[in-house]
Structure 1
């Protein structure tokens, strides 16, 4: 990836919004260019240990990583991070160690903005605006995951987690990861996904799921429409 394209990709990923870099200051892009380091991580390797320090802001170029916590029997998957997404931003703001581990589910290529550069980065208003924009979008996604876990039946859970994990019409995750995200058994999830498939909302592929009918899937997820308060006269 050419240098300018790589830096723009990093800025867009941190902000959580494609096209952010088009309006970014030249100084911000130059700052990122000076400090980004490309890394390759093998499947199963940890990028950050549980309750440990993350080595910086990671920007995923290829592959998938999982944010996990251990329970008595297994590891719970809290969230996944795929191409064009980033993690490690919270540590930049508060300096706290992470309450979860981060490991590569597949082979991963990533850009790293090292933690040693954080004191310099925090003094740059344009960079902190980038981080806050990204955290805002990640907060919304976290609520989407919570809504999926708290749903009252498995079919609703499945529909909601597919919407939360969708990337451009594709859920790039195997069913075992989706089951871990919801904290349910894989056979139970298979039944729920089968009902969504039979309804024509999704197509099941190897290690990924295609969303064919977004409106239908939202209906299955029972997501209410947003009403403009100015027109709601009840």
Structure 2
């Protein structure tokens, strides 16, 4: 798994223009793509019921801090209700790199890889989470069945992230952007800053915006700043598969 994580990091730096300068944001954005989603999470509904005494129920108000960039991880957060925002703060600005929704989780990779998270997590809305402290995670991993499922979940997430990056290598910006929009859309809407999308593609914001406007003129998307709405996802899928 450590080898997979290193390979993933090398692929992140291989995508985009030579000399791209926003490496910290790009790394954080792509690592955020490896958080646990509802469909790839390691625990099942019955696990939460059976292991309820190991979790701490946390109701957090909008703006509350869950964990900080670079801080040693204290546990795993499972989102049950509300939205959690992952972001990177630089001298220039605060940039959102992803949003966690009910069923998602974050924090396990940082613990298993003994690497501080490259982003900060705050509640975007009032939210309800289940918190699994790091010692409880280690105890859970003593159960062979749960350990196998957890490692399988992490491996699948890293493999999916690597697959996305490999599919982008050597492709022109419009094709890369096409794929990224399809991958990032939730209900045909992308709710991420253009700076984050540009960083993930290793390009400049002006170059990204130029391509987005071309997509808008072609009727593929609608720009509803800051949101991007996929108006013709079928045609986007066709264009992506044609390359």
Same-fold status (TM-score > 0.5): yes
Q: Are the structure 2 counterparts of residues 184 and 140 from structure 1 closer, same or farther at C-alpha, using a change threshold of 3 Å? A: same
Structure 1 residues 170-199: Cα deviation after superposition (integer angstroms, max 9, x where no partner): 222232332233233222212111222222
Of structures 1 and 2, the one scoring higher in RCO (CA 8 A, sep 6+) is 2
Aligned to 1:195: 214
Unaligned runs of 5+ in 2: 1-34
Superposition pairs for residues 145-160 of structure 1, below 5 Å? 145-147=164-166, 150-160=169-179
Distance in structure 1 (CA, Å) of the matches to 2:156 and 2:126: 23
Is 1:132 the counterpart of 2:151? The answer is: yes
Moved beyond 3 Å, runs of 4+:
13-16, 18-21, 24-28, 41-46, 67-70, 72-77, 91-94, 103-108, 147-152, 219-224
Distance in structure 2 (CA, Å) of the matches to 1:149 and 1:100: 22
Is 1:82 the counterpart of 2:105? The answer is: no
Distance in structure 2 (CA, Å) of the matches to 1:41 and 1:141: 32
The worse-fitting range, judged by mean Cα deviation, of 98-107 and 85-94 is 98-107
How many residues of Structure 1 are paired with residues of Structure 2 in the alignment?
Answer: 206
The TM-score with structure 2 as length reference comes to 0.64
Aligned to 1:102: 120
RMSD: 3.8
Aligned to 1:17: 39
CA contact (8 A) 2:181 2:190 kept: yes
Q: Could you say what secondary structure the match of 2:223 adopts?
A: strand
Structure 1 residues 143-180: Cα deviation after superposition (integer angstroms, max 9, x where no partner): 25524764533222221221221224222223233223
Give the CA deviation at 1:208. 2.3
Distance in structure 2 (CA, Å) of the matches to 1:223 and 1:38: 46
Unaligned runs of 5+ in 1: 1-12, 225-234
Structure 1 residues 95-130: Cα deviation after superposition (integer angstroms, max 9, x where no partner): x12362334484563522221312221123343344
Aligned to 1:38: 58
